[in-house]
Structures are given as C-alpha cells and as structure tokens.
A and B are shown apart, each in its own frame.
Chain A
Amino acid sequence: MTDTTMSAPSRPASKSSRPGTLALLLNNTLATSGLVVLVLICLIALAAPILPLEDPDVTAPANRLLPVFAEGHLLGTDHLGRDILSRLIWGTRVSLAVGLSATIIAAFFGSLLGLVAGYAGGRTDTLIMRGIDMVMAFPYILLALAIVAVLGPGLLNALYAIALVNIPFFARNIRGITLGLSRREFVDAARLSGKSPVQILFLEILPNVLPVIVITMSTTVGWMILETAGLSFLGLGAQPPQADLGSMLGEGRKILFTAPHVSIIPGLMIFALVMSINLFGDGVRDILDPRLRAGSLTRPVSRTAVHRKADDIPSPSEKGGVLDVRQMRTEFEIGSSVYKAVGGVDLNLKEGECLGIVGESGSGKSVTAMSIMGLVPTPPGRIAGGAAYLDGEDLFAASDRRIRDLRGGSVAYVFQDPLSTLHPLFTVGDQLTEAITTHRPLSGSKAREKAIELLSLVRIPNAKERLSAYPHELSGGMRQRVCIAMALANDAKVLIADEPTTALDVTVQSQILTLMNGLRRERNAAILFITHDFGVVSALCDRVAVMYAGRIVETGTTEEVLANPRHPYTAKLIECVPVLGEPERRLDAIEGRPPVVNNLPEGCAFAARCPHAQAACRAGEIELEMSSDTRGVRCLFPLNSGAAV
C-alpha cells in the first residue's frame, strides 16, 4: 500500500541506509563497549585460578567486615573475613557458568520442540504448543519457584528450573520460523529426493534456523543470569560454602546497614554483566533485524522538508488558476543515493477544472500529488526546488500552522486504498466530525448533522446509522465514499485524488467517478486526479498530463491526447486500455521497466523502451515543446507530427 503511494523509491536493498550517522555511531559504540566489558569480565573470570587471589572460602574472623581499599583486601572483607574481591571473581565464574548452561539447555530443548512442532505440524504441533501455552500460563518466576520447591534448593536445581521456564520462549520462536521454512521449495526438494524427516530437519532446516537460535540466546542469556542470581539471592540457589553473585548479595543483605559494600559490590557486578550482555545483544539484533536496518522505522515528521535555494523560486505563471505548480522537484535521500522522484513538474489548475495525471507506478505522479501539501514523508523525502501556488500563495514558504489550516480546508485529499487510509479504531462518524470541527467551530450535534448531510451527499444510504459504523464494517465502495465525504467537509477549492478508484471494482469505480464529476460541477472545485488508467481519465478529466520518470512527457486536453498521442509513451499507455466490444484488440504491455530515478540516463528517460529511439534521444536535455496553450510534448521525434492537432 505504501509502495504505490510512495512509488518512486520503493525501498532499495542498499545497505548502510539507516538514517542519522550519529545514532548509528552511538548504537555501535554502545554495542562495542558492551562487548569490551563482557569480554573483560569473562577473561577475568576464566583467569581466576591463575590470578594472585586469596582462597575465596578461607575465613578470618579477625578481619571481619573490612571496608573497601583496606590493606591487602582491595574490596574489603565480608562478615566471615573472606576477601570480597576473590569471592567476587569466583562468584562471577559460577554465575556465568550457570547462566550460560541454563541458556544452552533451554535453547537445546526449546529449539528441538520448536523444530519438531513446526515441521510435523498437525496434531503433534497442537499437542506440543498446547503444552507450551500451559507452561506460559504461569508467571515466569513462580514456575521456577515451584520447580525448586520440588527439586529442593541448590545451584544445580535452580539452573534446571530457570532453563525449564525458558524452554517455551525458544520453542515458540523456533516453531514459527520452522513452520515458514518447511513450506519452502528446498524442503520439498529434499523430501522428493527421499531424505527422511530427521535428515531434513537437521540437515536442511536446522542450518537456516541456527542464526535465530543464536540471536534468541544472546537476548536471553542476560535475563537467565539475572534470574539464577535471583534464586540464589532468595537462598534457593547456591548453598554455602559455594557462592555465586546472587548468594553473595543475599548473605550481604543481612548486614546491609552496617556494611553495605558487602551486598553492593556483587550487585554491581551482576548489573555490569547483564548490562554488557544486553548492550551487545541489542547491537547484534539491530544489525540482524532487517526492519530496523533499512531505517524503515524512521518516524516521518508532520510536513515534508523544503530545501530550495532562495534565488531559485519560480514566480507564478501568467496563466493564473487556483493551483499553480512550477518546476517542482521532490527527492528522496536514502543512504548515499538521491532518488529524484519528481524532476521539475509544471501543473496548472483552474476552478472547476479536472486535470488527470497519468503514468505507471514509479512515474512520480503520487509523489507530485503528496508534495503539494507537504505530505511526502520526511525523512527520507524533501522538496528540492520549485514552487506551488494556491491562489498566489507560495505553499512551500507558508508556516506549518497555515499549511495545517489549508490541509482538509482549501485543499483536500482522497487516497487510494480506503481501508488503510481510514483509521480502523474510530467510527466513520468520529472521523467525519473531526474533519469538520478541525476547521470550523461547530458544536458536537451540529457537526454530526453536517456529517450526516455529507454522507447523504456521497449517496450513502442510512447515513445516520452509518455514523456509528467502523471502516471494516463497510464495503470498499462505501469506504471510499466516506473518504470523499471527508474531503468535501470544508468546501475545498482543490481536491487531490490519488488513484481513488484503483482499489475498487469496476461498477463501484464508475459510481465514484460519476459522484466526483457531479460534485465538481455543483461545487466548482478543481480536481487533480492521479491515475494509471486512461479509461478513467476519459470519463472525468478535461486535461491530462502524462508523467514518466518524474517529468511530464506530454500534456493536452483529454480529447487531443487520446485521439492523437504524440509521445511514444503516451501511445503505448493508451494501447494498454482494453476496449469493451473489441476482444480481438491486442493489449501490449510496455516492455521493460521505468528507469530507477537515482540514476537517470541522459536525454529522454524513455529512450531505452522506445521503439522509435534514435541516437539524438540519448543526449542533452529535451524540453517540453508547447505547440499550443494546452498541448505540449517532450519528444524529439513525436508521433503523428503530420496530423492536424
């Protein structure tokens, strides 16, 4: 859906396309520092036997509760006179070992269950997943407690308990992915080649699932270290004299008021350990999660950014008109490449006039429509040049406040897919009255009356009852009528309709077109009608502009262009329209694809697909040659040049 409205740069697969180098740097720095701390802690813990440390379990009652930085005891001593530094390092060893083992056990059994459930499907799947659901119906730590209650307190039992309660987490994740993979072609191929299910599962599917298992492990290991430490803290894990970080903290708690360092230090270590793991895990996930990587989760701001040079603002054309677009250029900056979605477009629209913009997806027609009121998402979009005048007012120079007043007021939009463009959680009435009251100070009941009036205007039966309907309760045609009613709420001077009938079936389509045409005549509103369908154009539009690769390649009155297309691209587009009653007519698809707008060829952008292209077409700038007030073509060798215009 977004692909068609923002058709120009439909998400390129380029890497390093995440916005904000600073944010990227910060994220990476955090992940890197996490890794450094983690490696440091692990190395120290591993090196414990060869470090010059005191025996962690040797008590020395004479040296009880020495403070931090005491002679010979860098971190002081505990209530039995044991060296805290030594106990800390040995305790970290234990905590790390327990946390890692629990993760590995949970990952092994959880993945196994997930693999089997996802691959076997059917009854096995249901049985396993119901069991998993059952286990997940328990609050997490509570289940671990119940298991420890059964097995009895002890470090190993705590480990088993934590591993067990984390199995569902792995099982669910892995099952989902296995389910997707087991329907893929390579699995079918393996099955046909006679491999056994076990072979398929472990030789074909497992290698593909392994990265996910690793990511899940990296995001849960910190949590498991925390939880096993928690059980030890409660006295249900490590039993004296054995000590992990949690039990050190638990013992220290009893003397919190007199010697806080005894409990603060091991807690700080748990925090450092878990924090470094989480930082690193987040970094790994950011890099591996494609959704975050493509910067697709960047929030668009309320209005398209305008970056145009002050001395490069064209003045309004002498033609006048209610909407006057001059040399408008809109670009998308994604990663290091710039996509010139709209490359200098002129449009002129008079009162009561309907101008059609026609082109394939990717031609820049939707972006043109969105640019006028600053609805192109920024980032990554921006207005790079030109101007749009509404009754002589430069829209790109207007204040945000002013633009807000004009949006839905003087300039209203109707979008393509009425299901995704209406808010699913508000009733039709809410959305309509909101459109009304945003621009006029009407009371609730007055606004409702007006809303009913609007719904009747767009010929929705039982308008009053429909107010309390949600969009999903209406048919596609009804939804689009609601959208049109919303656009008409404030007597707009200009109605910009972006493929309003594309998502609808043909009969509904013609009803909507009739409706719009009637409204135009009654209200004298100007309509900018975006479509890819010449059939729709001929039904509604006075004039038409054909766009290709972000530029207008031909323009003229609808009759002129339809009867006598001069640009080869226009001719091809018209040939694509099926005509009722002419089944023998050949529908030629236009060969090739529109050029990618970050790397436009020199000369005519259509040259590569044009049957009449000559050498001259591939060099230099080709102007839009106007042969009359309304008629123009951007082609060196236009068709039908002999024919009368």
Chain B
Amino acid sequence: MAAYIAKRLLAAIPVLFGLTIIVFLIMAMIPGDPATAILGSYATPENVAKLNRDLGLDKTLFEQYVIWIGNLFQGDLGRSYTLNRPVLDEVMERFSATLILAGTSLVLCSIFGLLAGIVSAVRQYGWADKIITLLVLIGISTPSFWLGLLLILVFAVNLRLFPASGMYAIYGGGDLADLIHHLTLPALTLSVVATGVIARLTRTAMLEVLRQDYIRTARAKGLSERKVIYKHAFKSALVGVVPVIGIQAGFVIGGAVYIETVFQWPGIGSMLVTAISTRDLLLVQGGVLVVAAAYVLFNLLADVVQTILDPRLR
C-alpha cells in the first residue's frame, strides 16, 4: 500500500513538471513586448533593451524557463505589480479561502450526489427516481452564477437569513460560526452541478453492480436487502464513483471562479478574474500554477482512495 502511494507520488512529478512548462509557455506566448508594456510606448529603445536584460527576456526561452523554475523552487513567483506584493503570498492567502469553499462544496456534492444516486437506483422507475432524475437535469443545466444571484435575492435580500457576500462579517466576526454563516450560500451554489453529475453516475454504477453475480451470492446467503444494497453493492459502486469525484474537484475549483465573483469570496478565482482584467500576468501565472498543482494532488488522493477500496488495484 505504502509502496503504491509512493509510486503514484513519483508518477505525479512529471505531470507537475508538464504543468509548469504549459503555464510558462502560455505566458511566454503573450503577444507584445512586456518591457514596452511596462515602460509605455514613449520609452527609448535603450531603456527597453535594458529592462529586457533586467527581466532576463534577452535569453532563450529554455534559459528563461530554467531561471523561472529555479526561482519557483525557492518560492519566488515574482511580484504582482498591481498589488505590489510577492505573488506567492497573495496566491497562498487567496487559495486557502478557495480551499475552504471548494472543499466544503466537494463534501456536500459527494454526500448528496451519492445519496441521490443510490435512492434513484434502488427506486428505479419509481417516483423518487423520476423526481431525482429531473432535479439532476435541472441542476446540471442551471448556470451556477445565475443560481447564486437568485439565492442572494431570496435568502440574503428577502429573507435575510444569510449574508450576501464576503467570507467574514466586517465587524465582530471571524469565528467559525461566522465563517459557516457566510459559507452556506456559496458552498451550496457551487455544489449543485457536481451533485448532479455524481448522482447520475452513482445511479448507473449501482444499477450495473446490482446485476453482478456476487450480489446474487449475497442474496443467496440470506442477507437483508439493506445489507445487499448499502454494504455489498455500494462499496463496488463507490470504486467507480471515486475517480469521478476526483474529476469533479476540478470542476468545483473551476466553478469557484464564478461563485467567488458572485459572492465576493476572497478566493483565488476572483483574484484571477481581476488579475486578467488588469493584465497582472505574473499573478495569473502563479494562481493558475497553484490551482493546477492542487488539482493534480487531489486526483492523486482520489486514486489512493480507490486503491484502498479495491484490493485488486494494489
């Protein structure tokens, strides 16, 4: 088991390296001359050349990458020119906020999605199944940014149950209760689509498993239907669903971009949107890199969980 995890961790290293190359290349492909952009169009050619030298832009692309990755290993992702602070500090601060939001959503969508999928499969073609199927369809067709606005209107503006924006109350907040209060609406909104996807998949997986020979064996043993479904069938279905939850993590982190904008959550998504608008490209670069790396690690985690569940994969 430990050997397997070590093997998977090693296998993730080239992927992470690939990510740095892609992120670096994307930024290198940006049209226009950064030095001119920084100095303005009236800069003298000498000044532009000097700045290019200072920025290391007169070197080859490969040399630039080596320098960049060297800095990366020392935790130096450059400085954000709009915020005038190290990119790494800003990214890490923002990323922890995103992790709280996306992590909560991921837990919510896993619980609701698995439950809905099981109920749907067990009550196949019954009313519960039809209602869940319809809700799932509605869920995956609803633009999350619009749903967020609707929830704000209903629960924040009209019912005044939850705050409309932010992560903590400006005055007197800051504890866990305050965080949960602020987290409820955005986390729910963010989890809707993933819940639908997981529910759909769980239903199919359960139906497939319930036809297996070993389910017949479980019944021939005289097990109660509850044990057959929740112990024998569900464990097998889970093996198929766990990687999908891993993939959904990517959609949830990506979807956080909208939700953070709608609820003004101080996460990395809203940071990226602002950074793109202000062309703060080092900040974009750092943000994309950190989120992508987190996603790779999360999928690794899903792999490991799958291996724990299924001894055949060891």
A→B interface (CB under 8 Å) = 1-2, 5, 19-20, 22-23, 26, 30, 133-135, 137-142, 145-150, 153, 222, 226, 229-230, 233-236, 249, 253, 256-257, 260, 263-264, 267-268, 270-271, 274-275, 278-279, 282, 296-300, 302, 373, 375, 377, 404-409, 412-413, 415, 417, 420-426, 434-435, 438-439, 470, 472, 483, 486
B39 interface hit (Cβ, 8 Å): no
Residues of B within 8 A of A274 (CB): 141-143
Instruction: Tell me which residues across on chain A come within 8 A of B249, comparing CB atoms.
Output: 139
B311 to chain A, nearest CB (A): 4
15 extra A-B contacts, CB within 8 A, seeds A137-B296, A299-B211, A425-B236 = A19-B125, A23-B125, A137-B15, A139-B249, A142-B272, A142-B295, A234-B261, A234-B273, A235-B273, A236-B276, A264-B149, A275-B141, A412-B220, A420-B214, A423-B232
Q: What is the CA–CA distance of A365 and B295 in the complex, to the nearest angstrom?
A: 53
Does residue B140 face the partner (Cβ distance < 8 Å to A)? Answer: yes
Q: Is B79 an interface residue (CB 8 A)?
A: no
> Chain B residues near A438 (CB, 8 Å)?
221-223
List, in ascending order, chain A residues with CB within 8 A of B255's CB: 141
Query: Taking A234-B273, A434-B223 as contacts, is the C-beta distance between A140 and B214 under 8 angstroms?
Result: no
How many angstroms from the CA of A420 to the CA of B41 in the assembled complex?
Answer: 72
- Least distance between A333 CB and chain B CB atoms (Å): 15
Q: Are B284 and A253 in contact (CB under 8 A)?
A: no
Interface size on B, residues (CB 8 A): 79
Which residues of chain B have C-beta atoms less than 8 A from A147's C-beta? Answer: 26
Select A233's contact among B137, B140, B258, beta carbons within 8 Å: B258
Chain B positions within 8 Å of A298 at CB level? 124, 207
B224 in contact with A404 (CB, 8 Å): yes
B23 within 8 A of A: yes
B84 within 8 A of A: no
Q: Which 9 A-B pairs have the closest CB atoms?
A: A141-B254, A267-B146, A408-B222, A139-B250, A275-B141, A407-B222, A408-B221, A420-B213, A413-B220
B55 on the A face (CB < 8 A): no
CB A355 to nearest CB in B, in angstroms, measures 19
Contact A300 B213 (CB under 8 A): no
Given the complex, which residues of B lie within 8 Å of A26, measured CB to CB? 130
Bound together, the chains give a CA A148 to CA B29 distance in angstroms of: 12
Give every chain A residue within 8 A of B150 (Cβ-Cβ): 264, 267
State which residues 198-222 of B face A: CB under 8 Å: 204, 206-208, 210-214, 216-222
The listed residue (B157, B228, B310) touching A424 by CB distance below 8 A is B310
Nearest CB on A from B269, distance (A): 8
Is B288 in the interface zone, CB < 8 Å from A? yes
Q: Is the CB of B284 within 8 A of A297?
A: no
Complex Cα distance A268/B232, Å? 42
**A and B contact pairs by CB, cutoff 8 A, 9 listed:** A137-B295, A139-B292, A142-B291, A145-B257, A146-B26, A149-B276, A230-B143, A267-B145, A486-B221
**For A302, what are the chain B residues with a Cβ–Cβ distance below 8 Å?**
219, 225, 228
Interchain CB contact under 8 A, A267 and B143: yes
B 105-133 to A, binary, CB cutoff 8 A, 1 in contact else 0:
00000000000000001101100001000
Residues of B within 8 A of A235 (CB): 273, 277
Expressed in whole angstroms, the minimum distance between the Cβ of B304 and any Cβ of chain A is: 16
A139, B253: Cβ atoms under 8 Å? yes
One digit per residue, 1 when the CB lies within 8 angstroms of any chain A CB and 0 when it does not, for chain B 45-88 equals 00000000000000000000000000000000000000000000
Q: Is B153 an interface residue (CB 8 A)?
A: yes
> Do residues A417 and B213 form an inter-chain contact, with CB atoms below 8 A?
yes
Q: Chain B 282-314 against A: per-residue CB contact (8 Å), 1 yes, 0 no?
A: 001000100110011001000000000111100
Determine which of A2, A5, A137, A236 lies in contact with B273 in the assembled complex, contact meaning CB atoms within 8 Å.
A236
In the bound complex, residues from chain B placing their C-beta under 8 Å from that of A256 are 149, 152-153
CA distance A425 to B299 in the complex (A): 22
Of B29, B211, B218, B272, which contacts A423 at CB under 8 A? B218
Tell me, rounded to whole Å, the shortest Cβ–Cβ distance linking A169 to chain B.
12
Give the distance to chain B from A287, nearest Cβ to Cβ, in Å: 16
Closest CB in chain A relative to B120 CB, distance in Å: 10
Asked if A424 contacts B214 (CB within 8 A), the reply is yes
Whole-angstrom distance between the Cβ of B226 and the nearest chain A Cβ: 10
Contact B15–A263 (Cβ < 8 Å): no
Q: With A153-B277, A373-B220, A438-B221 as given contacts, are A138 and B137 in contact (CB-CB < 8 Å)?
A: no
B153 and A260 form a contact (CB under 8 A): yes
Q: Is B251 a contact partner of A139 (Cβ separation < 8 A)? A: yes
